[in-house]
Copies of this chain bind each other. A is one copy, B any other.
Amino acid sequence: MQFADRLNQVETSAIRELFKLLGKPGIISFAGGFPDSALFDVSGIRAAANQVLTDTPGAALQYGATEGYGPLREQLAGLMRARGTAELAAGQLIVTTGSQQALDLIGKTMINPGDCVIVEGPTFLATIQCFRLYGAELVSAPIDANGVDTDQLEALMAKHRPKLVYLIPSFGNPSGATLSLERRRRVLELAVKYQTLVVEDDPYGEVYFDAPPPLSLLALSASVPGSRDLLAHCGSLSKVLSPGLRIGWLVAPAELLAHATMCKQFSDAHTSTFAQSTAAAYLAAGHLPAALARVRQVYAERAQAMADALRRELGAAVTFTQPRGGLFFWLRLTGAGGASTDAAALARRAIEQGVAFVPGSPFFAQAPDGATLRLSFATVGLADIDEGVRRLARALAAV
């Protein structure tokens, strides 16, 4: 059978191979990118599901509008307004099957084979693959602790004239980095200067530990004339409520949103109305703030425990910026004391020691840094975080 040429753009994930090893008994896994199931507000979701099956079973189980279930669009617009995007109307967003589908629709709507797309180096692996399937040529813009380096971003925009720039400004996956307020404004100015679409992926912005991150690009666009017309924003309930509902959303300029809706019609018709109406009832019941407060507190404790353990057990062997939200630590092996800087080799050795993580190279669309690695604390209890980091130190000593 002759498959489509676009499949040649995507390699089988190195991470997928690693995940096959995770079944080993007793492994402490920092490899996942999942929220902790124990934090799901199951009773709130159950109440919401029962409510919609009692009050509006037709709407919950029937076909629905491709744009999304009206009451959910209203709730999500309300969330966005509460997060600083004044006057966002429900009609300015569509519901997607997870924010992954928002990315897919952007790719389908925007990208011609050969188009350049600028992403952060490192960035979300599934975005790299998703855009490559539409034929995008990806260019990496370097990041530091304050997110993407906007001077280098501008140089790359001037050189490559990309179709779009994709950023995860708050607590990025895998970097954990947060784009500073000053750089956020600069990104919006660059969008206007180069008349280039910026895609803001924001699944983690509400998962902060002490204080909220700077306003989203979407919220800030009100203060940078012309930028709102060049901004797409992807949101998600996956990290704050439940990934299994598969509720994401896309805010975008009207014409882009209309095209994305048309593409969605022929991708999956619409997102599950059962899940959408349940999410709408849950949000309407006002349960989210309490659930989010718990998520923030638990993850803050785990992140602090991981930071402490890393400093204590690994010391000068790694550098990292302590994340202030999200699910991830991004480490770089320094080679101090003659230790290895090969994160892929370390990953294999770590499995032998009973701890798993993801080496960083696959997260780079260009110029992979083989000394980097990603750790997630999200699903690991405090004692296991300590023990896992100790095992990591043993693995590093043994490489």
Contacts and interface: CB of A to CB of B under 8 A. Distances in A.
Contacts of A34: 62-63
Given A61-B242, A61-B243, A259-B7, A104 B267 contact: yes
A315 interface: no
Nearest to A103: B266
Nearest to A53: B46
A325 B389 CA distance: 62
Interface string A124-139: 0010011001100000
A266 B106 CA distance: 12
B109 A256 contact: no
A265 interface: yes
Interface string A244-263: 11100000010110010011
A227 interface: no
A315 to B, nearest CB: 34
A266 B2 CA distance: 21
A7 B268 CA distance: 17
A8 to B, nearest CB: 11
Given A3-B259, A34-B63, A62-B37, A129 B265 contact: yes
What band does the interface of chain A fall in when counting residues whose beta carbon is under 8 Å from B?
35 or more
Contacts of A54: 46
A169 to B, nearest CB: 21
A272 B246 contact: yes
B4 A112 contact: yes
Contacts of A53: 42, 45-46, 49
A27 interface: no
A98 interface: yes
B242 A274 contact: yes
A278 B277 CA distance: 15
A109 B246 contact: no
A16 B35 CA distance: 40
A58 B46 contact: no
Contact of A5 (B63, B96, B112, B238): B112
A22 interface: no
A274 B259 contact: no
Contacts of A320: none
Contacts of A49: 46, 49-50, 53
Given A259-B7, A275-B275, A253 B1 contact: yes
A208 B38 CA distance: 44
Interface string A271-299: 11111011000000000000000000000
A175 to B, nearest CB: 20
A181 interface: no
Contact of A61 (B40, B255, B267): B40
Contacts of A119: none
Contacts of A1: 197, 230, 253, 255-256
B268 A4 contact: no
Given A34-B63, A62-B37, A262-B10, A272 B272 contact: yes
A73 interface: no
Contacts of A271: 97, 246, 272
A368 to B, nearest CB: 19
A244 B4 contact: no
6 contacts: A1-B255, A3-B256, A108-B133, A130-B266, A272-B272, A275-B275
In order of increasing CB-CB distance, the 7 nearest A-B pairs are A244-B273, A37-B58, A130-B266, A61-B242, A61-B244, A97-B268, A246-B272
Given A2-B163, A3-B259, A126-B269, 16 more contacts: A1-B230, A6-B112, A35-B62, A37-B58, A40-B57, A40-B61, A46-B54, A62-B243, A63-B238, A98-B269, A104-B268, A130-B266, A242-B274, A246-B274, A267-B267, A272-B274
